Structure 1
Amino acid sequence: MKKKHWSAKLSLMLIALVIVLAGCQPVGSVDVSKVMSNLFTVKSSEGASSVTLELTADPAASITPEEKRAIELLNGFKVEVTEMKQQSPTELSAKGSLAYANVKIPFHLVLSDMIYTIQIEGAKKPIVIGNSAAIGAGSALPTTPELQKQIEQLGQKAVEAMPKFSSFFTSNFPNPKTISAEAANVTVNGEALQLQKLHVELKGSELVGLIKGFLTNVLKDEEGLKQFIAALYDVYAPFLKEMVKAGSANAEGDTGALDSIMPFLENKTLAVEFIYTFLKSNLEQVVASFDQSLNSLPKNEDGKSVQDLLNDNQSLTMDLYVDAENVTRKSTSVLLLTLPDSAKHGLKSIKVTSSGEVWNVNKPVTIDPIDTTGGVVEWMNKSGRLTSSKLVASLDPKSDLYKLLKDELNITKKEVNLTVSSEVSIIPGLTPFNDQGTVMVPARFVAEQLDADVEWDAAKQQVTITDPLSGNVTVLTINSTQASVNGQLQTLEKAAVIVEGSTYIPVRFVAESMNAKVGWTQETQTVGIVRE
């Protein structure tokens, strides 16, 4: 299957579908704009929900057995939340299960202070995902305590600003063609309620016109656009100020470019006016040339345009049941994506069905915590990346989740291909070179491609590579042919060396220390590293 080719297109379709529904003018007695805005203003609630994935395969498609098995596994995949408790916008717990084939895996998730803790059947300990915005040890960004503090606060600020962000979109998007409201009697958590049913149907063929209508409305909404920019400023300006300060302090030479930004970050009015003028000018050009630009977009391999792909075979149907305060109490939706070229990638269609309901809205609710006294597994590695190998390493090899992720979906399978230069790399840290028959590869680049952590000890001139999947810890010393793997000394073909600030080591050694295999293609002078 051409997974990468279609993942981007599907993502764009999904984003467009969701954004369109974020808009809409009043329908009957229902203020649709208020309904959508209220999705982000609810402070607390309890609820339940489910999402089911259905994949329809093309029997005539020529796909690998692995791809066929993946489709079979994911068809019918279901995420069910039986107990959701939201204590505040940034405090939430959810209990439920993941279901696929004949397997059901219970889980318990908690969000608190922008930190996720997940207890799932098969995990050795609760898994913790910290603030993903934090700067990792391997980052090239300058780090100061003030900057780190601002980064950690970004998530909280963004959550608090969501009502302002959403109101900008809800007030400017036009209605889809099919939208209606009527009274409905429904049951929510066993309670009979009289609500308004908002029914929406959206076809892919409508998206282009709705997006153009949105951009046209934004041009007319000077006050709304400025308020939107101001809200963005409030969230990101403090972070950007510290970023500029840290950059200037660490810069070598002229800092004029960085210094020129600071007046805008220090003056909100100046920043808003400058950005508004820039956006307005560019939006005018976009709207004026919208149709022409759309027609000039490149077509896919079969000669189909964007308009051809966004047809009535792509659809979203949604029913929202809202109360007198325009708060959604119950919902159902069906997203259908019919894919062209099914014979090439194996899928005819993707269908996502979801439902949910909430109660105790804006009433006192207490989340269900996860017991972490027995320790946790930090999923985010030391470079600030979330890696599949770190996740799989935290699981019991006998568990269903481990078997699904590693054995069935092969999420830890890695493949790295590097073309070898006959001389020392002209792109330090990326390109390998041949040292009298020994291929030398950039240690950090290759190790991180295989999901390992890399640490540099300048005092000892040592590189430490920690592979979470195998558990192997490898220590290499610059200009030494001796290396340590889990405390056992081994001899390298060539000594580790530094080339223009990057550490290079023999490819076979680094690969085999992480249970990977090395291959060589003579015609292209390419070294390949594969780990199953």
Structure 2
Amino acid sequence: MKKMSKWLALPLVLMLVFLTGCQAVGGFDVNKALQKSLEVQSSESRQKVSVEVVPADNVSAEDKEIIDLINSISLTVDHAKIKDASTMSLKGSIGFSGEELPYHISMDATSMAIQVEGAQQPLYISLEDSSDYLDLEQYNEQVQEFGVKAAGFLLKHMPNPSTISVKKVQEKVNEETLSLTHLHAEIRGDELVKLAKPLLTNVAKDEAGLKELIGAFYDAMYPMLSAQLGTDAFDEEPASSKEFVVAAMYGVVKEALDEILKDYDQQAAALFEESPELSTVLGKDTVLTTDLYFDGDLNTRKQNMELTVAIPQGEGVPVKAFKVSSEAEMWNIGGAVAVDQVDLSAGKLDLADEEITPGQILRNFEPGSIIYKLLKDEMQITSKYVLIGYPGDYYEVIKKNGTSFVPLRYMSAELDAEIKWNKETKTITIIDDITQAEIVLTVGSSQAKVAGQAAALSEPAFIHTDGKMYVPLRFISEALGAKVHVDEDGWITVTRD
């Protein structure tokens, strides 16, 4: 599955860039409509996204199982509310393996909260890490402004794909029948290289536009760099002024464009010769089909998209093609929108907490819930693999009377267990991160308790001359739900599913 991943991003990025380069069709200003769609406005919407992986003819049973799982995944947004670029809420469900997992997400400039079915407390992610040195809201606005300018620059210079049409239609959006302009476009992979040359040629000729775009990039990046460096990043010397930077960057970009265009056709042919797989990825079977519906104000009200990426075949490649489909509709564009906040009044599980353990995450969900089974069985967040070198490793195994001992704190940390030490009684209590069962040991005693039941140790725990407490490796590992394996070379692996 890994071999196909590098081929997926390339055609998607290129196709979307080229699609945004459409010139006017049938009197409809496609460029202006597409550029406006990049602007963040308040709105409400719904959307569904699904994926399909087409297996190769000789796919293995293991890969086919993974492919079937991927093909069962879908994302449904029943109701999205966007107030501004940083404030929104989503309600919907994630489908996989024939089950549906409802979710509710809300986000603002400072945090994101996620409530899923079966969770006792919502998941919480802070977005304020950079707030001490950077105004994120202002920075986001500047980056968004640069993105719109960059898209407009590309739109200005791109030719149309071979298949594109515009017509007037009647369509339902949120149960309301509207008169809309329907833009249909298809782009095949084998068109992309041909479309790139006129784009680069037009860009190279537009000195004023290119300098303006570089200046917009400077304006977007300047606050962040200055804040991170703790000083004025560009104004310490006259040579670092905006005018100087723009002129210098323009010279570099222009020289690179001229070099590419000088023998573009030969370079393109050499690229395909060097990487013949590109003939498949950027071939006739890689296709982006999109249908956009605009109202009289050029707002996007509906959109349907399907992207098929052909995958080069070869030994070990289990996939023929990868497909992504999406359909969406939007309403209340530019209107008053109040987002649905996730309720945090009863507490939250902070995912940014570095001390959080897999067991803490699992215990936040009902054992029979979909999300619990997904985390434990599919994502296997509790699985562990510990490799111990024996002998001579930093965490050295000590052999005593035929029993292998390891430092208690080391093995407990590896398996996320909590330790409590009673100095007076020399008793150690180890709390299993997953089950919360307690393992009680006493220094010098061969008797222990595991989840309240008596258990015997082959050798008692002891405090070594290095001041560390050592416990029998197999006992502590198995008590914490793990298995121990020793190979012929003396390497020890401790694993937990």
Shorter-chain-normalised TM-score: which range?
A: 0.7 to 0.9
- Determine the structure 1 residue equivalent to 2:21: 23
Superposition pairs of residues 66-465 of structure 1, within 5 angstroms:
67-113=63-109, 115-131=111-127, 134=129, 147=133, 149-150=134-135, 154-245=139-230, 262-263=236-237, 267-297=241-271, 304-341=276-313, 344-382=316-354, 394-410=364-380
* Residues 342, 348 of structure 1: 8 Å contact kept: no
Moved more, 10-19 or 282-291: 282-291
Deviation at 1:322, TM superposition (A): 0.9
CA distance in 2, matches of 1:265, 1:377: 50
* Residues 72, 98 of structure 2: 8 Å contact kept: no
Deviation at 1:219, TM superposition (A): 1.4
Partner amino acid, structure 1, of 2:207 = E
SS class of match (2:32): helix
Residues 35 and 286 of structure 1: is their aligned pair in 2 closer, same or farther, counting only changes over 3 Å? Answer: same
How many residues align? The count is 454
CA distance in 2, matches of 1:195, 1:218: 32
* Residues 106, 340 of structure 2: 8 Å contact kept: yes
Partner amino acid, structure 1, of 2:14 = A
Deviation at 1:198, TM superposition (A): 0.4
The answer on 1:32 being equivalent to 2:35 is no
Mind listing any 5+ residue stretches in structure 1 that lack a counterpart? 136-144, 247-257, 424-431, 453-465, 473-489, 498-506
CA distance in 1, matches of 2:256, 2:463: 57
Q: With structure 1 as the length reference, what TM-score do the two structures score?
A: 0.71
Deviation at 1:155, TM superposition (A): 3.9
Deviation at 1:171, TM superposition (A): 2.2
Partner amino acid, structure 2, of 1:68 = K
CA distance in 2, matches of 1:292, 1:75: 40
The answer on 1:61 being equivalent to 2:59 is yes
The answer on 1:6 being equivalent to 2:38 is no
CA distance in 1, matches of 2:56, 2:340: 44
Kindly report the root-mean-square deviation, in angstroms, between the aligned alpha carbons of the 2 structures. Answer: 4.5
CA distance in 1, matches of 2:238, 2:309: 44
- Determine the structure 2 residue equivalent to 1:487: none
SS class of match (1:335): strand
Deviation at 1:327, TM superposition (A): 1.6
Partner amino acid, structure 2, of 1:276 = Y
CA distance in 1, matches of 2:463, 2:158: 63
CA distance in 2, matches of 1:156, 1:451: 42
Partner amino acid, structure 2, of 1:173 = M
Partner amino acid, structure 2, of 1:361 = I
* Residues 390, 396 of structure 2: 8 Å contact kept: no
Partner amino acid, structure 2, of 1:115 = S
SS class of match (2:352): coil
Q: With structure 2 as the length reference, what TM-score do the two structures score?
A: 0.75
Residues 123 and 168 of structure 1: is their aligned pair in 2 closer, same or farther, counting only changes over 3 Å? Answer: farther
Moved more, 372-381 or 43-52: 372-381
* Residues 158, 235 of structure 1: 8 Å contact kept: yes
Deviation at 1:295, TM superposition (A): 4.1
CA distance in 2, matches of 1:57, 1:174: 35
SS class of match (2:230): helix
* Residues 173, 213 of structure 1: 8 Å contact kept: yes
Residues 117 and 436 of structure 1: is their aligned pair in 2 closer, same or farther, counting only changes over 3 Å? Answer: closer
| Offset from partner CA, 1:150-197 (integer Å, 9 cap, x none) | 568644542354322322232233221111111111111111111111
CA distance in 1, matches of 2:432, 2:38: 40
Deviation at 1:273, TM superposition (A): 1.6
Deviation at 1:75, TM superposition (A): 1.4
CA distance in 1, matches of 2:238, 2:474: 51
Partner amino acid, structure 2, of 1:32 = V
| Offset from partner CA, 1:408-439 (integer Å, 9 cap, x none) | 34466566889x8999xxxxxxxx86979899
Deviation at 1:70, TM superposition (A): 2.8
The percentage of counterpart residues that share the same residue type is 31
CA distance in 2, matches of 1:411, 1:54: 26
Q: 1:50 aligns with which of 48, 51, 74?
A: 48
Residues 83 and 451 of structure 1: is their aligned pair in 2 closer, same or farther, counting only changes over 3 Å? Answer: farther
| Offset from partner CA, 1:212-245 (integer Å, 9 cap, x none) | 3333322122222222222222222122123333
CA distance in 1, matches of 2:236, 2:384: 43
SS class of match (1:171): helix
Deviation at 1:521, TM superposition (A): 7.0
Deviation at 1:382, TM superposition (A): 3.8
CA distance in 2, matches of 1:174, 1:97: 39
Larger radius of gyration: 2
SS class of match (2:7): helix
Deviation at 1:288, TM superposition (A): 2.9
CA distance in 1, matches of 2:432, 2:242: 46
Partner amino acid, structure 1, of 2:97 = A
* Residues 390, 451 of structure 1: 8 Å contact kept: no
CA distance in 2, matches of 1:37, 1:390: 45
* Residues 301, 330 of structure 2: 8 Å contact kept: yes
